[in-house]
A = this chain, B = another copy of it.
């Protein structure tokens, strides 16, 4: 474990809490066996013999967490976003995802996705694959090789989609899921399976019951979609007439948080009752502002979720979102919250940059444990940013450099990356 024990020097920025950014100029982050032993203005005597990674003058931030991203959609990022959700799934997503039956295609496409994810500022991600076991395992192999820590889901879908992508039955879908779990059990250090029913419209009642059974047996976390779009919400109500609201449909199958970690992406249209259940069950919301703009879904009331102390992070939602960058997702979250405030609800104050930064780091990171901060005890995922490209005659504080960076830095400005205390490249 010696390689996980060192001192990282630089202009350190991390969240103290959802509203407060902590910055230490020329500070020292002491990493012992991959975890933070604290941040210091002056390096204590006892740590002076440790190897020093010297990034003086560079911004050093916690690695970013992408709570919601579709790997097979990366191939068509930035394309065809002129439809709303349900039409977009039919016209763009399902035809593309059907291609992942072909392992050669999957290898090419997932190789690009994994390479770009490795290069950028993200160190943790929750990833949707497709309903193809082979391609999903291939994606897990590729992600394991990046050094990133990820959860990957083989997608379940047995209704309301074209034959090319629909699983033949609930039973077959469940059995294939078990085969996938058995195949990959113990195979990876950093890549874990996550149960992934696509969303209620794609999953029959029988399938949901079978997945709940699998979840109990394997103790798996779960990811899915919730209350993204009006048409989707109305459809769920038709499909599950007994449910009181969309989230209640998941809950009725025992698949809505509680003992197991659960992420629901979007929550643009969640009702008071749904929000209340999200809080009670500790469900994570993956806020995906760019996707919600691109597919004209709207803007999730993030201020409300923050004020209610919900579990909350950011998602790129590629390819509803066109960019894989969680730096960009922070800026989008702030900008969209301002438009939501202006156009929809002036009781919900816009997000601040420190709040968006918290969402992208400690907020989403906590899904993976003590991740997303440099406070003592946290696993050290860290990203070194070179902002010297952004020239200005002004003298900026570290907080200002971070604020500007949220709007203007790009993945190419990441010059070094550590995951769980290890250099990733």
Q: Which residues of A contact B (CB under 8 A)?
A: 74-80, 82, 105, 108-109, 112, 115-116, 290, 293-299, 322-323, 331, 335-336, 338-344, 350, 352-353, 390-394, 396, 400, 403-408, 410, 412
Contact = CB atoms under 8 A, between A and B. Distances in A.
A145 B80 CA distance: 40
Copy tally for this chain in the complex stands at 2
Given A298-B339, A343-B339, A404-B77, A82 B352 contact: yes
B75 A338 contact: no
Contacts of A339: 293, 296, 298-299, 336, 339, 343
**Interface SS of A by simple majority:** helix
Given A78-B403, A299-B343, A350-B296, A112 B410 contact: no
A112 B323 contact: no
Nearest to A341: B296
A392 B335 contact: no
Contacts of A290: 335
B75 A335 contact: no
A338 B393 contact: no
Given A323-B407, A339-B293, A76 B112 contact: no
B407 A338 contact: no
A215 to B, nearest CB: 33
A77 B298 CA distance: 27
Contacts of A404: 77-79, 322
A407 B78 contact: yes
B342 A296 contact: yes
Contacts of A298: 339, 342-343
A154 B323 CA distance: 38
A44 to B, nearest CB: 34
Contacts of A342: 296-298
A115 B296 CA distance: 36
B293 A79 contact: no
Contacts of A341: 296
A78 B387 CA distance: 12
A408 B105 contact: no
Given A336-B339, A407-B322, A408-B323, A393 B75 contact: yes
A214 to B, nearest CB: 32
**Across the A-B interface, the 5 shortest Cβ-Cβ residue pairs:** A78-B404, A78-B407, A296-B338, A322-B407, A343-B343
Contacts of A391: 112, 115-116
A378 to B, nearest CB: 27
Contact of A393 (B80, B109, B410): B109
Contacts of A405: 78
Contact of A75 (B77, B108, B331, B392): B392
Contacts of A297: 342
A293 B296 CA distance: 16
